[in-house]
Each structure stands twice: as C-alpha cells, then as structure tokens.
C-alpha cells in the first residue's frame, strides 16, 4: 500500500510502498477512502522536522533534557545513538480519516466488515491506503454520511472538546479567535447548536470563507473590540474559544479584553499562555485548556486497549465526541464542502502537502485538504520487497536473520550491531506497523518488510530470528519460532507469567533451534573481569546491585500490565541474572520489599529491594529505585568474596581489591555487541545457547516470584521442578 512518510531529520516527504498494517485483537483494519491534511497541525509538524538540530533543541527543550539525562545515566555515546535513531526513522503523518472496515479483531465488538467508519489518532488514522485503528478511535458513520465528510471526524471532536471546556449555556454569545480549519469547524458546530458566534482572524480570506458558509458575524482581529462590543450588546462576550496557532500570547490577551466579567476562555490552539493578570483578575476570568479530542486522549488503556470510561462519569470521551460530530453531519447542519479546499488523489500527496505548507500568496490559504484513496476491493499485501536490499552480499556461510519488532531498541542498538558483525545479514523485518517495518528494513538492507511475522517463520532461507517486540508478545512469538525450527534470540523478559515460561521451556527443549535470552550484562568486558577476579576466592560471595532506574511516566507502555508487565519483569530480571552469573550459581530463594505506590509519583514496580540466596551459599541484593537525583550513574555493583572485593561503576570502571587496589577501565559497554556475536557464532557453529537454558529459566522464574514474595512478605523457594511439571502460579 502507499503511505505518506516524513523523514524526522530533515522533513522530507516520501510516498512509500509499505505492507498493510497487521490486525490486532482490539481493533480494525480500514481501507481508507479519505484522510484530511490539517493546515495548522501538519504545517507545524513539517516546520519542526525541517529545523536544524539546534532549532529542534531550542523548540523542544523537554526532549533535550531527556537526552541529557540519558547521557548521564548511560553515557554520551548511548544518548547520541538514541537521539540519532529517532531522527533517522520515517514517521507516518495524519490523524483523521474515514473508510471501510475490511478486518475485525476478535475483541473489536461493534464493528463488522463493510462498515463505513471515521477514524482518529496519530499513528493510526494516517495518510495511507490502509490503517489499523483501535476500537475506541473509530466510530461507525450514520446512514448517508459520506466518508469524504466523515474524514473530518477527529477535527470535529477537537472542536467539540473546546466547546465543552467553555461550559456554555443556551443563549450565550461565543467568540472564536482563529478561523483556520479547527476554528471554522468550531464556529459551524456552535451555529448548529444555536449559539450566536463571532469569528475573528488576522487573515481577510479566512473571514470571507466564514462569511461564505453563513457564520453569524466575522471580522478582522484589528476590529475585534468594536465588533465584540456590538456582538454582545455592550456586555462583553460570554466565552472565547481560541483556535489560533501562534507562539504569541496575543489571542489570550484579546480574549481578556472582549469578555464580560466571569467569562470563560477555552484554549484549543497552540498559543502562548502569558496571561495578562490585570484583565483576567479584574474580570475574574476562567482560563481552561482543551486537550485534543476529549477524555481518553493519551491514555493507553483507553486508546490502545479499548477500556472505555463509564458514560455516567465521562459523558463525552474522545470517541463519543467523534460520534456526536458525525451525528451532526447526518443532520446537514455542518457544511463540510465549504471548508474543503481541494481533494488530491493519494498519488499526488506530495503536491497536496506542498499546497498546505507553502500556499500560494495569490489565493486564500487552504483549509481542509483531502487525500483520496482507491476504494476497489483488493487483497491486503503484508509483505513488500525492499529495493535497497544489498543483493551483492554473499549468503554462503552467512547467518540469515529475521528481525521481529522494529521499535527504538531494534533501531538504535540491535540494527547497528548486526551491521558491524561478520557472517550475518538481516533478510527480513517484521512489525505490526508497515511504516516501521519498511523504515528499519531499508536501514539494514533487508530483502523485504512485513507486518506478518509468519512470513519470517515460513521463510526457509532465514536461520535465526531476533525478537524485540512488546513484552506480552515475547513468549508466544518465541514459541512459534522454535516450533518452526528457527534459532531464537529473545529479548528479556522471557515471559510475563509462569505458565508462559513453562510453555516456552517445553518448546525450547523440543526444538532443533537454540533459545538465547537478552541478558547482555553477562557479556560486558568489565563484568567478565569482575567475575573472574572474584572466583579466585573459591567461595560464596556477598553482592549488592544498586540501580538508579530513573522516572518513567506512568503512561509508558512498560508500566502497562498488559503490554509491559511492569518494571520488575521488564528490567529487574537483568540484575537478578547478573548476580546469578557473578556468583556462578542458581537462585534458590527470593524475598522482597518495596515502597508503597503513592499517586502517580511512585508506581508499584518503581522501588523494590530484592534479596536472593544462591545454591552455592552466595547472597545478593538488588536495590532498584526510580527515586534519587537524575545525575547519579545508573548502576553500581559491589561484591565481596574471601579476601577479594570488587566495585563495578556503571560499566565505566572496575575497582579490584586484593591487598592493593587495581582499576580496570571500561567504556560503558554493557555487552550487547558481544552477546549478539556469541549468538551468531553459536548458530554458525552448532553450539549451545550462549546463556544456558536452565540459567535463563532460573533467572526468569526468580524474577516472576518477586511478586509472590512481595505479596506474602516471606522468602519464596525457586525450584526448577515446579516449571518442568507445570506447577507454580501466574505472577
């Protein structure tokens, strides 16, 4: 399918051929008929992408802070690679579309194949021939509503949310400041509900466009105060809805001058928020921020997982706002054609964007620009060849790899490592998003990109797969790959429950392929030196692993109990395995305590202390916390055995104590490259998995049992026979 993608580094647009997105249980796949290019939002996106690195940094200091914090924790090299990886990715554009449902997920109740729907969401309702959309971001179009009009559903929801934030009552007079696309839709919705409306803009053409469809009053902002006085019979308007987009705070100041006492201001557009206290204080004005489409926006449980808010407590969610807008369309109270500047076929998408970003000075700036897509029924294609694939590379003696998962970890770390290793080539990339799969496949020179990982499992030329998807997919995908006879490198965690771990163990033991797990810290040069030094004592050790993990926003998918499983399963498993590696022994018991969660500042998995006992008598603790100063180095390990002691400082240095101190310098290498080199060598030479299966299972089981230890408040035995017999319980 064709999809419009943007280079995040320089803003260049590409109309690429990518695979149709994968169907997921909680959503639908839609054959788009139309998608909307929003002049304001899309121009802002383009402007940001076209900025230099310095310009991007100046306009997004929040992102700069994230890079600085990562550099402090993980080193400058890792922070640079991560930042450049983000900028090298091709980003999908668009967030409002409409089309026909062609596939329905098993949990996507309320939809049928053939339904016409309006779709919403950045990354979902994109400028593409096909789109995957979660259930709470799609609504069925009422009978008679053309998808050409339904494609504006998201923008209608934005307008409605701004109106709701203004808390209007019947008869109140409303000023809309900014008559771009959202402003015109807002004014039309207000008029449909019977509110008197005054529209204001700095552009005469915008004012004329509003007058053409019949707005009550429209005027230039230069005349705003006089017009508002006449419009409100001298009392001042009851409310102002700001839909302009400008870095200036002038719209906020203007609203303060033209409203009556105790009037309300709803800020919908991206405007400066320097509030003039004199006017706002004197009139006791209320300023409200309107957040996009409505309640549910930015909440993964709502948008991604389809968990609705009870209507009694959230009458107007983002989905119900879209439903209300398309209902208004069905009553013919909204004149979409009057705000539609032009419709371009998708093949002319680059020209369409040029008309929005660089409008002709001789004509009125465009409002709604639509892309139209072929509507003929065709079979979705989920595998596309990559023209940039290096077909000249020799294949004899080369391990052919399929990548399953193409997120930031694959993009920033796995792909660059594989590119440097000898005797390995990436043949295919699979991920649910066609844009992501194609972008990564181009970067690594793969032969094809796909959104169906069965394509990789069925490809006889592929020797091994590397799985780096969301945590909830790990076990099932690894089992499928092992059953297909592939060698598997599985990023941690191995599983999110004991049942999954049991099934994975069974598949690994029955497969002709090896199963390696991404416990990379075992391979760090300083870690190997530390282990070898301590083993000279020939006795059990006492070890402590302190991890300043840093804060992760509660909305991040790692915290999600469905996709991520929490930070204990996702991250603490690393440190449990490292102490097992360091002691040279398996974990035999686990006890744990944690800080109780408190609001959003402390999550249940953010702060935990774990004590491990090992079969050889060693004892280790993991102190994992999101608390503390962000500038503290992330990881420190200290261990003592016999007459020897060692202190590992964030993999940058290793202090060894035996009579006298000796320091081994490191470079922050956490063993990723050595880990993949060991995996490729094992595949080529027919060796066992680099991390022995029994050790990987033991570390993973011990991590899963941390939850039981936290719940019981007691020490929990870690017994491998429980896995082999299918015993135990889910975490």
What is the C-alpha radius of gyration for the chain, rounded to an integer number of angstroms?
29
Question: What percentage of the chain has pLDDT greater than the value 90?
Answer: 78
pLDDT category of residue 603 using cuts at 50, 70 and 90? confident
Distance from C-alpha of 123 to C-alpha of 126, rounded to nearest angstrom: 6
| DSSP strand pairing (286-289 vs 448-450) | unpaired
pLDDT at 273 over 60: yes
Total number of domains constituting the chain: 4
Q: 162 and 144: one domain?
A: no
Name the residue with higher pLDDT: 9 or 498. 498
Q: How far apart are the first and last CA of the chain?
A: 41
Confidence of residue 580 (pLDDT cuts 50, 70, 90): very high
Residues 463 and 409 in one domain: yes
Quick one: how far is CA 594 from the chain centroid? 28
Cβ 651 vs Cβ 664: under 8 Å = no
Q: Residue 417: inside a domain, yes or no?
A: yes
Residue 7 has pLDDT above 70, yes or no: yes
Q: What's residue 604's pLDDT? A: 76
Report the alpha-carbon distance of residue 531 to residue 528 in Å, rounded.
5
CA nearest neighbour of 285 among 294, 297, 277: 277
Q: How far apart are CA 163 and CA 190, in angstroms?
A: 8
* 530 found inside a domain: yes
Phi first, then psi: what are they for 24, rounded to 5°? -120, 155
One domain, residues 62 and 130: yes
- Averaged confidence pLDDT in the chain: 91
Statement to judge: residues 513 and 574 lie in one domain: no
pLDDT at 153 over 90: yes
Note whether residue 731 is domain-resident: no
CATH code, domain with 439: 3.40.50.720
DSSP-assigned letter for residue 346: G
End of a domain among 504, 520, 536?
520
Assess whether 363 and 331 both reside in one domain: yes
Q: What is the pLDDT, as a whole number, of residue 55?
A: 65
What predicted TM-score, i.e. pTM, was given to this entire model?
0.88
Write down the pLDDT at residue 555. Answer: 80
525, 435: one domain: no
Q: What is the pLDDT of residue 731?
A: 43
The 3-state secondary structure of 686-731 reads: CCCCCCCHHHHHHHHHHHHHHHHHHHHCCCEECCHHHHHCCCCCCC
Across 235-259, average pLDDT = 97
- For residue 426, what are the domain limits? 386-520
Residue at which a domain ends, from 464, 494, 520: 520
Burial of 189 (0-12, 13-18, 19+ CB in 10 A): buried
Bridge-based pairing state of the strands 587-594 and 608-614: antiparallel
Q: Is the pLDDT of residue 730 over 50?
A: no
The answer as to whether 107 is a domain residue is yes
pLDDT of residue 557: 84
693-721 pLDDT per residue, tens: 999 999 999 999 999 999 988 999 998 54
CB 282 within 8 Å of CB 263: no
Same domain, 485 and 531: no
Residue 425 falls within a domain, yes or no?
yes
615: pLDDT strictly greater than 60: yes
Q: What is the pLDDT of residue 360?
A: 65
Same domain, 318 and 391: no
Whether residue 131 sits in one domain with residue 16 = yes
% of the chain residues with pLDDT over 70: 89
Instruction: Give domain status of residue 368, yes or no.
Output: yes
Query: Pick the residue with more confidence: 265 or 305?
Result: 265
- Is there a domain that residue 607 lies in? yes
pLDDT score of 87? 56
CATH number, position 651: 3.30.360.10
Give the DSSP letter of residue 473: G
- Strands 116-120 and 138-140 come out as antiparallel
> Cα 538 to chain center, whole Å?
47
Q: Are residues 515 and 529 in the same domain?
A: no
- With bands split at pLDDT 50, 70 and 90, how would you rate the model's confidence at 632? confident
526 within some domain: yes
Whether residues 622 and 714 fall in one domain: yes
For residues 131 and 241, give the distance between their C-alpha atoms in angstroms, rounded to a whole number. Answer: 32
Give one word for 604, left, alpha or beta, with left for phi > 0 and alpha for psi -120 to 50: alpha
The 10s digit of each residue's pLDDT in 302-328 is 999 999 999 999 999 999 999 999 999
Q: Which of 211-215, 254-258, 303-307, 718-722 has the lowest mean pLDDT?
A: 718-722
pLDDT at position 68 over 90: no
Q: What is the pLDDT of residues 442-467, one digit of tens each?
A: 989 999 999 999 999 999 999 999 99
Residues 408 and 481 grouped into a single domain: yes
Give tens-digit pLDDT for 524-557. 999 999 999 999 988 899 999 999 998 888 888 8
Indicate if the pLDDT at residue 387 is higher than 80: no
pLDDT at residue 50 tops 90:
no
Question: Residue range 263-274: average pLDDT?
Answer: 96
Question: Lowest-confidence range among 307-321, 330-344, 622-636?
Answer: 622-636
Q: Give the end of a domain, one of 230, 257, 289.
A: 289
Partners of 197 in the beta sheet?
174
Lowest mean pLDDT among 76-85, 246-255, 461-470, 670-679: 76-85
C-alpha distances in angstroms, 83 versus 42, 420, 543? 22, 20, 34
């Amino acid at each position: 399918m064709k999809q419009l993608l943007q280079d995040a580094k320089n803003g260049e647009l590409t109309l690429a051929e990518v695979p149709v997105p994968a169907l997921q249980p909680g959503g639908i796949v839609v054959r788009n008929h139309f998608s909307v290019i929003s002049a304001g939002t899309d121009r802002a996106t383009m402007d940001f992408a076209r900025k230099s690195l310095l310009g991007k940094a100046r306009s997004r200091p929040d992102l700069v802070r994230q890079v600085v914090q990562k550099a402090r924790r993980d080193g400058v090299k890792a922070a640079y690679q991560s930042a450049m990886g983000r900028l090298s990715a091709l980003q999908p554009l668009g967030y409002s579309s409409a089309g026909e449902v062609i596939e329905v997920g098993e949990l996507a109740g309320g939809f049928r194949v053939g339904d016409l729907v309006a779709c919403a969401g950045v990354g979902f309702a994109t400028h593409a021939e096909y789109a995957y959309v979660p259930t709470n971001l799609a609504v069925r179009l009422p009978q008679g509503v053309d998808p050409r009009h339904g494609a504006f559903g998201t923008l209608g929801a934005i307008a409605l949310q701004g109106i709701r934030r203004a808390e209007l009552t019947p008869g109140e007079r409303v000023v809309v400041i900014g008559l771009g696309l959202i402003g015109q839709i807002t004014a039309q919705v207000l008029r449909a509900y019977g509110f008197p409306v005054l529209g204001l803009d700095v552009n005469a053409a915008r004012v004329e466009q509003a007058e053409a469809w019949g707005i009550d009053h429209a005027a230039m902002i230069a005349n705003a105060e006089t017009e508002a006085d006449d419009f409100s019979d001298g009392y001042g308007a009851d409310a102002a809805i700001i839909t302009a987009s400008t870095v200036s705070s002038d719209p906020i100041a203007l609203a303060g001058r033209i409203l009556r006492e105790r009037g309300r201001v709803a800020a919908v557009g991206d405007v400066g928020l320097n509030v003039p206290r004199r006017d706002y204080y004197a009139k006791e004005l209320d300023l409200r921020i309107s957040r996009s489409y409505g309640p549910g926006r930015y909440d993964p449980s709502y948008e991604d997982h389809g968990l609705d808010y009870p209507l009694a407590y959230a009458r107007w969610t983002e989905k119900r706002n879209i439903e209300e807008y398309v209902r208004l369309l069905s009553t013919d109270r909204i004149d979409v054609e009057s705000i539609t500047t032009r419709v371009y076929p998708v093949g002319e998408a680059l020209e369409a964007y040029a008309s929005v970003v660089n409008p002709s000075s001789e004509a009125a700036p465009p409002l709604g620009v639509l892309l139209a897509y072929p509507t003929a029924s065709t079979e979705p294609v989920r595998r596309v060849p990559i023209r940039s694939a290096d077909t000249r590379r020799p294949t004899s003696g080369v391990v052919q790899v399929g990548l399953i998962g193409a997120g930031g970890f694959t993009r920033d770390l796995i792909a660059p490592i594989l590119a440097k290793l000898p005797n390995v080539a990436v043949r295919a990339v699979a991920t649910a998003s066609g844009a992501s799969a194609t972008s990564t496949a181009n970067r690594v020179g793969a032969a094809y990109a796909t959104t169906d990982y069965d394509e990789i499992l069925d490809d006889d030329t592929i020797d091994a797969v590397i799985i780096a998807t969301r945590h909830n997919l790990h076990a099932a995908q690894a089992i499928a790959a092992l059953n297909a006879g592939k060698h598997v490198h599985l990023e941690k965690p191995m599983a999110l429950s004991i049942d999954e771990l049991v099934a994975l163990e069974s598949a690994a033991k029955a497969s002709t392929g090896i199963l390696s797990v991404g416990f990379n810290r075992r391979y760090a040069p300083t870690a190997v030196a530390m282990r070898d030094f301590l083993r000279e004592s020939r006795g059990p050790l006492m070890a402590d692993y302190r991890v300043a993990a840093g804060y992760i926003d509660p909305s991040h998918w790692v915290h999600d109990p469905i996709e991520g499983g929490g930070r204990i399963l996702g991250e603490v498993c690393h440190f449990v395995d490292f102490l097992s590696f360091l002691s040279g022994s398996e974990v035999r018991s686990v006890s744990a305590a944690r800080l109780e969660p408190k609001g959003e500042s402390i999550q249940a998995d953010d702060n935990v202390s774990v004590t491990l006992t090992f079969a050889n008598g060693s004892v280790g603790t993991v102190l994992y916390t999101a608390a503390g100063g962000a500038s503290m180095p992330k990881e420190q390990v200290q261990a003592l055995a016999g007459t020897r002691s060692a202190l590992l400082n964030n993999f940058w240095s290793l202090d060894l104590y035996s009579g006298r101190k000796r320091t081994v310098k490191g470079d922050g290498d956490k063993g990723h490259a050595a880990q993949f080199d060991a995996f490729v060598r094992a595949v080529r030479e027919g060796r066992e998995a680099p991390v022995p299966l029994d050790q990987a299972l033991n570390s993973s089981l011990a991590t899963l049992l941390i939850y039981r230890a936290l719940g019981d408040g007691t020490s929990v035995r870690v017994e491998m026979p429980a896995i082999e017999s299918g015993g135990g319980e889910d975490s």
